Amino acid sequence: MQPIAESELIINSRGAIYHLDLRPEELAETIITVGDPFRVKEVSKHFDRIEYRAEHREFVTHTGYIGNKRLSVVSTGIGPDNIDIVFNELDALVNIDFATRTIKPQLTALNIVRMGTSGSLQRHIPVDTFVASTHALGLDNLLNYYRLEQNPEENQLLQSFITHTGLNSNTTNPYISAAAPSLLKHFAGEGWYSGITVTCPGFYGPQGRVLRLGIRNPSLIDRLTEFRFGNHFISNFEMETSAIYGLGRLLGHHCLSLSAIVANRVDKQFSQDGGALVERLIVNGLGILSNLP
């Protein structure tokens, strides 16, 4: 097997991957991603002990234990472009031999769970609640740079979505991927809403917000809220989940996105204590993840 070139797989002087500044032994196989670098310590404060700490640019990592469960929490920063960096480097850490620069014959599947904030697109999903994303529908175009193939049902859903929203190839080429059933099943039932999460490439115009600039699709919020395909509907939107689910699917990792609903775009409400809400999401999520095999 041809070694991966130094320009493609960048390893620094301490043997760590370039952006995350992590060596393979410093990463657990169960990973929590958060957007905000300052949120890493809000997760790791619940660890019984911390083994490793790393920080480079907006990428902060703490690896440690809750009981016998080893976990890493990694900040990604905002947006699908950062997810592209983080997921390719997380995968390289477990599936590429850094000494030979070759892909390992036996691949490792990571469990990766996003814990972040989001805006609800349904009146029945109020602020200060949680959503576990069954699917992620990307408006960001990242996965269009990779060979992501949709099955017939996904293609039908996407065509229905494009027709309903008017978001055609002049704006974006939507794609969709599903959560890992092995993780999603633990976050169902009382206390959890579920649905399709839409990922946008920005916070203002791409999410239908108007400050000083006009937008091309002023009815976007209504269109997303009204969309139905069989039993599927759009529950919320944010800025990372489609990249997480899409890259996770291609790389063979098990991914799930958990969102704290800080805004309801239908009722135009915002949480009065988003920090406390995110803390509850972290505590609930860690309580489940730390008990998985």
Kindly report the number of other CB atoms within 10 A of residue 105's CB atom: 7
Average pLDDT of span 150-163: 96
Residue 293 pLDDT greater than 90, yes or no: no
Residue 169 pLDDT greater than 90, yes or no: no
Please give the full DSSP string across 9-75, using - where no structure is assigned.
S-B-TTS-BTTT---GGG--SEEEEESSGGGHHHHHTTSSEEEEEEEETTEEEEEEEETTEEEEEEE
b/e sequence 202-234, b meaning 16+ C-beta within 10 Å: eeebbbbeeeeeeeeeeebbebbbebebeebbb
* Nearest-angstrom CA–CA distance, 44 and 38: 11
* Percent of the chain clearing pLDDT 70 (strictly above): 100
| Pairing label, strands 254-264, 228-229 | unpaired
Average pLDDT of span 107-118: 98
* Nearest-angstrom CA–CA distance, 39 and 220: 30
Q: Please tell me the predicted confidence (pLDDT) of residue 200.
A: 97
Average pLDDT of span 212-220: 93
Cα–Cα nearest to 97, from 148, 156, 24: 24
pLDDT tier at 25 (50, 70, 90 boundaries)?
A: very high
Average pLDDT of span 215-244: 96
CA dist list (Å): 246 to 141, 250, 252, 288: 11, 6, 10, 24
Average pLDDT of span 119-132: 98
Residue 228 pLDDT greater than 90, yes or no: yes
**pLDDT, tens digit, 9 for 90 and up, residues 238-286:** 999 999 999 999 999 999 999 999 999 999 999 999 999 999 999 999 9
Q: What is the SS3 string spanning 194-223?
A: EEEEEECCCCCHHHCCCCCCCCCCCCHHHH
Class of domain 11-290: alpha beta
Q: Which helix (H) or strand (E) holds 3?
A: none
Residue 103 pLDDT greater than 90, yes or no: yes
